[in-house]
Structure 1
Amino acid sequence: MKIELQKIRVRDLVEGYEDNDELGVRAYEGKLDVRPPYQREFVYKDHQRDAVIETLRRDFPLNLMYWAVREDGTFEVIDGQQRTISICQYVEGDFSIPVNGHQLSFHNLQSDQQDQIMDYELMVYLCEGKDSEKLEWFRTINIAGEELTDQELRNAVYHGPWVSAAKKYFSKNGCPAYAIGSAYLTGTPIRQDYLETIIKWVNDGDVDGYMAAHQHDSNANPLWLYFQNVMAWVKATFPKWRREMRSVPWGLLYNEYKDASLDPVKLEAEVAALMADEDVTKKRGIYIYVLNGEERNLSIRAFTDNQKREAYERQKGVCPVCTKHFELAEMEADHITPWHAGGKTEASNCQLLCRDDNRRKGGI
């Protein structure tokens, strides 16, 4: 890979700056692609963005940037997207920073202060090489910066028309996926949480396999249609929304139960009862439990040490199943009346069984 250091003035960088949802972000008279397909969305917090401008204003050194040189002589940002956008947005007047006790946008600065920023020289490495070399360097130099998520790195490895199309659905602020599914998903679209989650759902957890298979597809319509179907099924099956629904693996449930005959009214009654049950400690697991009936999804409240000791003394250390005597440490707590039959996790419903009998009872 050929690498050359060049000084780029801010006034040249911001020339022709444009942020367009369809065309992406461009600067440097349109010759710099600030957000190539594999790059992340703008994720800087306000204090990080402000610090970039304060660095320029005080003429302090800003971290090196890296641009890749394309075959047609234009450039794309390998590292420095967040700083580049911060600079361009400030000069455009999109935000203000505190200066001597006042919030000042670029146009509020004195002319000499504006010139000081515009004449600031950015240190940019221009890199020429194969796509694989540029992408590998992209992975390496970002390790020390705002750490990339696994999905952001995958977007770099499998960049192409499919990634660009998928990001329009799942990776923008206010994207279509956010509009219909934000109440049912955790994370944020701009850090690629939505995209990663949906691919895991549709491809049994194998995100890399799915992206490799679809890297050169011209669109991401199948994934978008799948997500719409998942959301429609969830809202029809569980029409009453609760905050616990944000962390349920809906796609996996949809894959298994989409063709099942389910009664939303009956399901809601079961969910409501379980939400009110103090023995159920994992409320988000309720939605899985009412479909598959597996108690492990609920993390039923365990008996306390005091309750175990009380039962041990009451039984005089004898297992009621095999009638043999054991030390307390050799026994395990068990519900006399099973939880699913209405038994509560309370002292009067606690018995101690030896490990072998308890695990035989539980089918382990």
Structure 2
Amino acid sequence: MDVKDFDYDLPEELIAQDPLEDRSSSRLMVLDKKTGEVSHHVFKEIVKYLRPGDCLVLNNTKVIPARLFGVKEGTMAKIEILLLKRRQNDVWETLVKPGKKAKPGTKIIFGDGLLTGEVIDVVDDGNRLIQFSYEGIFEEILDKLGQMPLPPYITHQLKDKNRYQTVYAKYDGSAAAPTAGLHFTKELLQQVKDKGVDIAEVTLHVGLGTFRPVKVDNVLDHHMHSEFYMVSQEAADKINNAKKNGGRIISVGTTSTRTLEAASDENGMLKECSGWTDIFIYPGYSFKVIDCLITNFHLPQSTLVMLVSALAGREHVLNAYKEAVEERYRFFSFGDAMFITNDMHMDDEAAE
């Protein structure tokens, strides 16, 4: 399977640089995974495509302001750090720019000494392990000094940190937002519940591997970074019950999808669990848990385009993307959404 099989042409001006004022007013393309048929809507109309007994699965991870700017002790040279994974005892795996200035033993000062870090080791891909020292609560210091780690294709400064968080974000730990969830407002989620749809929350802390390009020609040679996930007993019960009663499992985002598919048994059943997953889903994969997917439009040749192609078929997905470009949809993290469904039937009574 060649990585070029998942390419498409995207004019640069269609990459959304800023979030919309109203989260739920983004556009929504509905794609029938069986026929490839598409239709065009506004995101808040998603309620019309949901049915009583369905289960909507959200990823409740919270993005931490993981980008820190500091200076090297002694030379005062500028250093930028991205927090990737929390290890033990205030040690983090980080991405450091410029890396050559960050040999083991290097000390870095942030916010006039409010936070200091020492490089203690170099690990995979040149990432650095940094031991942090501070007084007080790390999360509060991070909130004061850190910036949201926006994807590299977003060049605008984010005015409001909360717009790169879902309204249901709970557990700190992500280096990137589960962006399919950015379209939901609290009011819209209430409408979903009022319709008789169960809402289950799982956690997957999104790593920067999400944006890591596939650098090999053969898709099968690509290695995914591992990410930490948690499924509570409550979420497992909701998902299992919906499945047993004939409801559909509708995943909000590729991160929720990877969590469910990694955590389930071969029959698609779940129980309380947590762990690390590097699951890589591409065409040929047989889904055990999810039936439908709410997702954004993803980068050409990315593992995320491969995941949606596994669910809806590569040709259907690429044709839908071509139409999205023609219709001037907004792409990537702050862009518009797609609902991949097994039923294009719309319930006109709902969400008026």
Q: Same fold (TM over 0.5)?
A: no
Q: Which has the higher strand share?
A: 2
For this structure pair, what is the TM-score category when the shorter chain's length is used for normalisation?
under 0.3
- Answer with 1 or 2: which has the greater Rg: 1
Structure number with greater CO (CA < 8 Å, separation at least 6) is 2
TM-score (norm 2): 0.26
Q: Which has the higher helix share?
A: 1
